Structures are given as structure tokens and as C-alpha cells.
């Protein structure tokens, strides 16, 4: 029998996981256990049989632990476990019996019991069992919190199907998520291969329009004489070959999103019509005398500098301001090299599964080459290199020989260029060589965009043009 209930050292459990139900038909046993556990800091409730205990758990009392005798009138402990199973998901049940056996203990465990103790028992056995159960619950809670934190970290490093951990991309993901909640027009800028369409898809999938489709349109990939018909549709007989009515891509995107990629290549005549769509939410098909309303969100993207295009008369200023309600600029990969390892593992996982190859790491030598390379093709170029390397790899690690020679050649050229700058002793000559090298590097990184190159070099645009002419640089 239980003895020595008073005078025990208190467990002082945390205020969480401290509600206990004692189920036993023996009044003395309930009172003794209640006194012990109350002295140890627990909140204790009692039930004289399984039927009373079942009513308590069904009523949502919310016990952390239940001590339940097996042999009881009305409803025994095993029947209680079977009946209350769905209500005990967050409760550890410890079965008790004076008629213990291995078979009984195994059966209790099968029904979901946490532990089994035989009567008579000492107070220390009760407190030790509770201590182990509480530690298990706390460990479970910590693991759950850890999984949630990992999930938050993974979520913060991704948007749609893009992954990144650099601050610039983290800020971009946060902005894109915020923008997705509103039906405003978005203009995404960035070099080719940075993932402009992926950001557009992420915005669409995070928006209230995600039940309808996003229709991508490459404005540079459709002949100009067909682009108007593709976008706005046409009536039967509007031109040679128009043998039926065609709704167009804006109509196909009804209720969803249309993604106008390379908007900088849109002909001036169509820019006027697109402006009307943005202002009035209506389109006119080729050959139609009337207009019709469309409910479509417009996301546009370009790798061109639209401000320079406006200056040259190739892009309408009013359309630019109408598109540029919310601007999102994706930085080139060369400016966020800390994302390269994460992207490598992302693409290794993708192509490892595609080609059924278990490649899970990049050698330090290969990673050094990847981090030093300037990535003119940005993330798309990195993805292609990883795919190629996966195909060539013969073990679980990617090595320099699995990557194109351009990586080692670029590294060699950088070292040679540094040696050239510091060859000789003339400060005047060294300055000229350094300026020429930096200008060439900036122009290469920006894809020949002189305005952005001047910004990187921290000089004015006219000054850059003057130096390019002086040094004979033509990119």
C-alpha cells in the first residue's frame, strides 16, 4: 500500500503539465495519492471508477496525467482507455494494478498508456514516473517549437518557388508577400535570369486570385503584328486567317493575373491600348466596335531600363508610371553571393531526384569557384551548371571538374588582371589599368547597362561615357 505521503520532497513542477486525475475505486488510495501529489505542487482531481473518469475527460477537464486503476466496478481501466482514447491525445495515462503481469502491461501500452506500475508502490515511484512523463512532455513541446521555428526559417528563406537568405532577398520576399494581398499593378525589374517570373508567380499564388490562373506572356517572343490579337483577341474575319472569334490572353486571365514579361519590348501602338486597360479595365478585340470589361491583375517585368527607353522615345512615360505603382527590383546573383550555397543545395535536391542520383554536397574548391564567379546569367546560369554537374558527378560530391571551364578561366583572368594592375611602379599607369578593369567589370556585371554601371562605380553617367571613350571600352 501507499505510505509515507507526508513529508516528501516537493517536485515543484512547472505550472504547465500539472493537472492530474486519479481514478481508483479505493477511497483511501485516492486520498493518499491526492495528498502526496498536492504536496508536490500538482492540481489533483479524483474519480471513483472509469465511468466517472470518462465523463470528466469528455467534459473537457484537460488533464495532463491520469493515474488509472485497472480493476474497478462499473467500468474498468482497460474499458476506460478504449472509450476515452480520442480525448486523451494530450494526456499521459499511467495504469495501476495489484494484479500486474507482463501481458496486462503490454495490453495497456497498446491502448495508449504511457506507463504501468504495480501496487503496492512507494511514493518515490509515483513522483519518478511523473517526472519522466513531464520531461517527455516538455521534450515534445520543445521539439514542436523547434519544428515550428525551422518551418519559419524555411518559410522566410523562400517565396513561391524561390529560395534565398540574403538580406536583400529577404526584404524582397517580405515586400512581395505584402504586395500580393492587394490588387495593385506591379513592375518587376532585374537582369535576365534573376527570377522575375518566379516572383510574379509567388505574388499570384499568395493572392486572393490564386484560384484562377496566371497567364504568362513574353512580349518579346510574339511577332508584333500578332501581339495585339494575342493580348486582346479578335473577331472572326478581322484579318486573313481569323476564321473564328478569339478571346485573347487578357480574357483567359479573367479573375486571375496576367504576367507581361519583357514589357519594354511592347510596340508603342500597343502601349497606348495597354494603358487604357490599366486605366479603364476594358479591352477591345481586333475588328470589334465595342469594348468589354475584364477583371485581371497586371504584373509586368523587364530587364531593360525603362527610364532610358523613355528618353529614347521607345516607351511611353504615362504607361511607365501606371505600371510602376509598386516596383520590385531583383538584385543580380553577383551582389548576393551568400545565396549561392543555399541555391546549390536547392538545385542539387531538384536534379538529384530528377536523375535519381544522391549528390548532397559541393567540394570547398568548387564552392570557391562558384562564389568568385560573376554570374552574368544569374540564377538561371547557376541552375544550368548544377544540372550539368549532377549529370557528370560519379559520387555524392560536386567537384571543380564537374563544372564548365568558364569558372576556372574566370578565376584565372581575375588573378591575371590583378597582376597587370600592379605590374611596374607607375601610379599613373596603375590608376589607368585599375579604372579600365573596374569599368569593364561593372559593365559586364550589369549586362552593358551604362546607367547601372555608373551607379556601381559611383561616378556620373557622362563621366562613365567619357572614360569608356578614353579607354576604348565598347560593351
- Domain range 19-146, its CATH number among 3.40.50.620, 3.40.50.2300, 3.30.420.610, 3.20.20.70: 3.40.50.2300
Fold match, 19-146 / 162-331: yes
190: number of CA atoms within 13 Å, CB side?
A: 29
Tell me the per-residue pLDDT of 246-259, one tens digit each, with 9 for 90 and over: 999 999 999 999 99
- Domain range 162-331, its CATH number among 3.40.50.11900, 3.30.365.10, 3.40.50.300, 3.40.140.10: 3.40.50.300
Band (6; pLDDT cuts 50, 70, 90): very low
Q: Do 285 and 294 form a contact (C-beta atoms < 8 A)? A: no
* 12 has a pLDDT exceeding 60: no
- pLDDT for 204 equals 96
* 416 has a pLDDT exceeding 60: no
The helix or strand, by DSSP H or E, that contains position 196, with its residue range, turns out to be helix 196-205
Spell out the domain ranges in the chain.
19-146, 162-331, 340-471
Distance CA 20, CA 127 (A): 12
* 415 has a pLDDT exceeding 60: no
Tell me the per-residue pLDDT of 345-372, one tens digit each, with 9 for 90 and over: 999 999 999 999 989 899 988 888 898 8
Band (282; pLDDT cuts 50, 70, 90): very high
Q: Do 229 and 246 form a contact (C-beta atoms < 8 A)? A: yes
CA distances from 105 to 75, 80, 95, 97, 455 (A): 18, 15, 8, 10, 75
Q: Concatenated DSSP letters for 107-132?
A: HHHHTT-SEEEESS--HHHHHHHHHH
* 422 has a pLDDT exceeding 60: no
- Pull the grid cell for residue 316: 511611353
DSSP 8-class letter at 475 = -
Burial class, 332, CB count within 10 angstroms (exposed 0-12 / middle 13-18 / buried 19+): buried
* 109 has a pLDDT exceeding 90: no
Tell me the per-residue pLDDT of 51-68, one tens digit each, with 9 for 90 and over: 999 999 988 778 889 999
SS3 428: helix
* 219 has a pLDDT exceeding 90: yes
- pLDDT for 2 equals 44
User: For residues 422-451, b (16+ Cβ closer than 10 Å) or e, as one string?
Assistant: eeeeeeeeeeebebbbbbbbbbebbbebbe
Average pLDDT, integer, range 419-439:
71
SS3 263: helix
Is 340-471 a CATH 1.10.10.10 domain? no
* pTM > 0.85: yes or no: no
Average pLDDT, integer, range 184-212:
95
Q: Which residues contact 455 (CB under 8 A, 6 or more apart)?
A: none
The helix or strand, by DSSP H or E, that contains position 372, with its residue range, turns out to be helix 364-372
Q: Which residue has the cell 466496478?
A: 73
- pLDDT for 8 equals 40
Higher pLDDT, 183 or 104: 183
- pLDDT for 256 equals 96
* 450 has a pLDDT exceeding 50: yes
Amino acid at each position: 500500500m501507499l505510505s509515507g505521503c507526508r513529508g516528501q520532497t516537493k517536485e515543484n513542477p512547472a505550472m504547465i503539465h500539472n493537472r492530474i486525475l486519479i481514478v481508483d475505486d479505493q477511497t483511501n488510495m485516492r486520498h493518499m495519492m491526492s495528498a502526496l501529489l498536492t504536496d508536490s505542487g500538482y492540481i489533483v482531481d479524483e474519480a471513483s471508477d472509469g465511468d466517472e473518469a470518462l465523463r470528466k475527460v469528455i467534459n473537457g477537464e484537460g488533464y495532463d496525467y491520469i493515474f488509472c486503476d485497472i480493476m474497478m466496478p462499473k467500468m474498468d481501466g482497460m474499458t476506460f482507455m478504449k472509450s476515452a482514447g480520442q480525448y486523451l491525445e494530450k494526456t499521459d495515462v499511467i495504469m495501476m494494478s495489484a494484479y500486474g503481469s507482463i501481458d496486462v502491461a503490454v495490453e495497456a501500452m497498446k491502448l495508449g498508456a504511457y506507463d504501468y506500475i504495480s501496487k503496492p508502490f512507494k511514493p518515490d515511484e509515483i513522483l519518478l514516473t511523473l517526472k519522466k512523463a513531464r520531461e517527455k512532455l516538455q521534450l515534445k513541446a520543445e521539439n514542436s517549437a523547434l519544428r515550428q521555428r525551422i518551418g519559419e526559417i524555411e518559410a522566410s528563406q523562400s517565396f513561391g518557388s524561390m529560395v534565398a537568405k540574403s538580406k536583400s532577398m529577404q526584404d524582397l520576399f517580405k515586400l512581395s508577400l505584402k504586395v500580393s494581398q492587394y490588387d495593385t499593378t506591379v513592375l518587376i525589374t532585374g537582369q535576365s535570369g534573376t527570377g522575375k517570373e518566379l516572383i510574379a508567380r509567388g505574388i499570384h499564388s499568395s493572392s486572393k486570385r490564386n484560384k484562377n490562373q496566371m497567364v504568362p506572356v513574353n512580349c518579346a517572343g510574339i511577332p508584333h503584328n500578332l501581339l495585339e490579337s494575342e493580348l486582346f483577341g479578335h473577331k472572326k474575319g478581322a484579318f486573313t486567317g481569323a476564321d473564328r472569334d478569339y478571346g485573347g490572353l487578357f480574357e483567359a486571365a479573367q479573375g486571375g493575373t496576367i504576367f507581361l514579361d519583357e514589357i519594354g519590348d511592347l510596340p508603342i501602338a500597343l502601349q497606348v491600348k495597354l494603358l487604357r486597360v490599366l486605366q479603364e479595365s476594358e479591352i477591345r478585340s481586333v475588328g470589334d466596335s465595342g469594348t468589354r470589361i475584364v477583371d485581371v491583375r497586371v504584373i509586368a517585368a523587364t530587364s531593360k531600363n525603362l527610364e532610358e527607353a523613355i528618353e529614347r522615345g521607345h516607351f511611353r512615360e504615362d504607361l511607365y508610371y501606371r505600371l510602376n505603382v509598386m516596383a520590385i527590383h531583383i538584385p543580380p546573383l553577383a551582389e548576393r553571393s551568400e545565396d549561392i550555397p543555399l541555391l546549390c543545395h536547392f538545385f542539387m535536391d531538384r536534379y538529384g531526384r530528377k536523375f535519381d542520383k544522391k549528390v548532397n554536397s559541393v567540394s570547398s574548391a568548387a564552392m570557391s569557384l562558384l562564389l568568385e564567379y560573376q554570374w552574368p546569367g544569374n540564377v538561371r546560369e547557376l541552375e544550368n551548371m548544377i544540372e550539368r554537374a549532377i549529370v557528370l558527378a560519379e559520387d555524392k560530391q560536386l567537384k571543380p571538374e564537374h563544372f564548365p571551364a568558364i569558372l576556372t578561366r574566370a578565376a584565372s583572368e581575375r588573378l591575371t588582371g590583378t597582376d597587370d594592375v600592379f605590374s611596374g611602379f607607375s601610379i599613373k599607369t596603375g590608376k589607368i589599368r585599375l579604372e579600365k578593369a573596374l569599368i569593364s567589370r561593372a559593365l559586364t556585371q550589369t549586362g552593358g547597362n551604362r546607367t547601372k554601371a555608373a551607379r556601381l562605380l559611383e561616378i556620373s553617367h557622362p563621366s562613365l561615357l567619357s572614360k569608356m571613350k578614353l579607354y576604348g571600352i565598347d560593351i
